[in-house]
Structure 1
């Protein structure tokens, strides 16, 4: 009898381990999955578009009966401590999956491990975490920084460059900066002559650029991280200085002012950023994991680049105050997972919804 009980106990423990990092047994069979978005910040147009895109995808999934609910929870001022407590509350509330835009790549790992140990699927995106047991959708942010340097290098033999960074302490800010610094090693005549933090927000970027401009004799180009290009242009305008080549970040106001300057004087730049709709990739990735799909723990995603040729298209498909984005359907994410496992490039972006 004792042996039978021991065998049953071992099998029970095995079953618990089997579902601890994949799916909960029977999840989704009683009215659909419960998936929460834990978001560390919503103070700019990118994050607001991200939340809107998430809600659009969630409604589609709810209407199809795939998901029961998919609420959004946002912390104040990108607080890692508050977000960790938020994750712990979501564990207690019994969510099937937590999708995470993290305040810190490392500070949330303890709370994330608690979620994983409880059998909850955790998918991080944008500002990703380092916990290896979680699923990570990693945008190639180093490419974002490097691409801006390459664009400048293709058009200038030498340049004094102002760098506008994002939100201090975040993975995204560090990765874009590292990509730019690595690319600059190939072009010794391209030099960073100043650095400010714009918090990915036009008003902060404008204030910070205005504050540093009096100390800079010449600026040929401005490297940005998204949401700061418009503010940079306005700061140069207000100071009565020539507007340098400012890299844009796919916001409606950035693309609009670029179009105006292009039509007026042939102004040249590019616009590059992660699409806020990457949240919908994370959403459907969580669904796929819950469905039992073999999803790689890490998938690399390309950023969305707006060129002079595609500028009009993206302006027409972006709401005023918003950001160029794409809402990715479940079928696209399924193809992405399949391609990644096969070593193939991501599928072509679907048209905006």
Structure 2
């Protein structure tokens, strides 16, 4: 009997419910062997019975053939011991070591930044140790410090960078070894690095605009900058110049670099106010020492722009009746805690955004409620009380930051 006769009464395989992995050609071969083997019995069956028998044989043999034809492969989630090892390589659940690189010593803002890093590391419960490398220096010294942290096997590095591009090679080397790197306060351009910073350009522009408006759009002003060449100083100077471009009658009679050192800024301010006619002063955060020099020289106050340093905020509140007019622009040292939170998030595999920028706020002397809200009578003069930054910080406010305790300390 020919194989064609065996299929004479069959419908297409999709209607018969044949396994989709079995082709009609394969069915022909299987059925041929089976039909020939049972030819005598099938010859006496009714057509309907023949159809169902053939269908059953086709399905059984096809499934067997398919099983023999396919190689035996283990499911990707199953091993020989029968256990599910899908999550064998789970993300770490803590025990991290965080390295910190700071290159400006004796500055209250930087001290609080480091304490905020420690406080957030402790509050997270995910960090075992914080290693702080703290000294005065530039890019050369910071590169050496970063290399040292890498050699100590830290899991993450938080740095306040001395250069936007000059540290890229060592930062990228750290990232290549699986170390999470977060630049805080100032930006870097290294591939793969995280950046968490106040908007430094806006910081300067907002403060300068307030000053120029307060002066009525004309007058002689001083620009007291930070450290020459570092990213934050460059960004702030750019912001200052952006504002200045809209006030053609404002004259900048002096521009200094304070190094963000209170004593240096104080001496510069004293020299300026005793030798020049000045209508207003914009500072890059060295503010309360400048106010003090007007008192030392017994000179009337001029409008002054500073940061949200506790000492300056106190002066704006306490000396308003004596004629002091000023504005505090926020630049919270708690950005260190923000960087810590981002580093931990990255170590846990949560893929946080690579850039986090805080928008500064301006608190002027006509906003006493706002100034009182950010003032803490018992806090250090060079520290900020603006320490809670949602959703990044998890410590207990200024108390934990002031304690300045890393895990294990």
Alignment partner, residue 359 of structure 2: 302
CA contact (8 A) 1:229 1:247 kept: yes
1:49 counterpart (112, 121, 138): 112
CA contact (8 A) 1:98 1:123 kept: yes
Is 1:201 aligned with 2:289?
Answer: no
1:284 counterpart (325, 341, 350): 341
2:214 counterpart SS class? coil
Distance 1:197 1:52, change over 3 A: same
1: distance between equivalents of 2:195 and 2:185?
9
1: distance between equivalents of 2:309 and 2:283?
12
Larger Rg: 2
**How big is the shift at 1:26?**
6.1
User: What 5-or-longer segments of structure 1 have no aligned partner?
Assistant: 1-24, 336-349
The RMSD of aligned alpha carbons is: 2.4
2: distance between equivalents of 1:138 and 1:117?
23
Distance 1:56 1:333, change over 3 A: closer
1:165 counterpart (209, 225, 230): 225
Alignment partner, residue 239 of structure 1: 297
Scaled by the length of structure 1, the TM-score of the pair is 0.80
**How big is the shift at 1:27?**
6.5
1:332 counterpart SS class? coil
Alignment partner, residue 60 of structure 2: none
Is 1:89 aligned with 2:120?
Answer: no
Count of aligned pairs between the two proteins: 306
Alignment partner, residue 270 of structure 2: 210
Alignment partner, residue 106 of structure 1: 165
1:271 counterpart SS class? strand
Is 1:312 aligned with 2:372?
Answer: yes
Alignment partner, residue 28 of structure 1: 92
Distance 1:318 1:185, change over 3 A: farther
CA contact (8 A) 1:46 1:323 kept: yes
1: distance between equivalents of 2:142 and 2:191?
19
What does 1:60-139 correspond to in 2, within 5 Å? 60-61=123-124, 64=125, 66-75=126-135, 77-139=136-198
2:157 counterpart SS class? strand
1: distance between equivalents of 2:143 and 2:90?
27
2: distance between equivalents of 1:325 and 1:261?
20
CA contact (8 A) 2:172 2:191 kept: no
Alignment partner, residue 323 of structure 1: 383
Distance 1:41 1:134, change over 3 A: same
2:101 counterpart SS class? strand
Is 1:260 aligned with 2:323?
Answer: no
Is 1:332 aligned with 2:332?
Answer: no
Alignment partner, residue 219 of structure 1: 278
Alignment partner, residue 326 of structure 2: 269
1: distance between equivalents of 2:361 and 2:122?
24
User: What 5-or-longer segments of structure 2 have no aligned partner?
Assistant: 1-88, 400-409
Q: Deviations over 1:233-274 (max 9, x none)?
A: 223333333221011222222122222211334x32110141
1:148 counterpart (166, 182, 207): 207
Distance 1:26 1:86, change over 3 A: farther
Is 1:182 aligned with 2:242?
Answer: yes
Please say which of residues 125-134 and 141-150 is displaced more in the overlay: 125-134
CA contact (8 A) 2:205 2:243 kept: yes
CA contact (8 A) 1:141 1:175 kept: yes
2: distance between equivalents of 1:84 and 1:261?
44
Please say which of residues 155-164 and 304-313 is displaced more in the overlay: 304-313
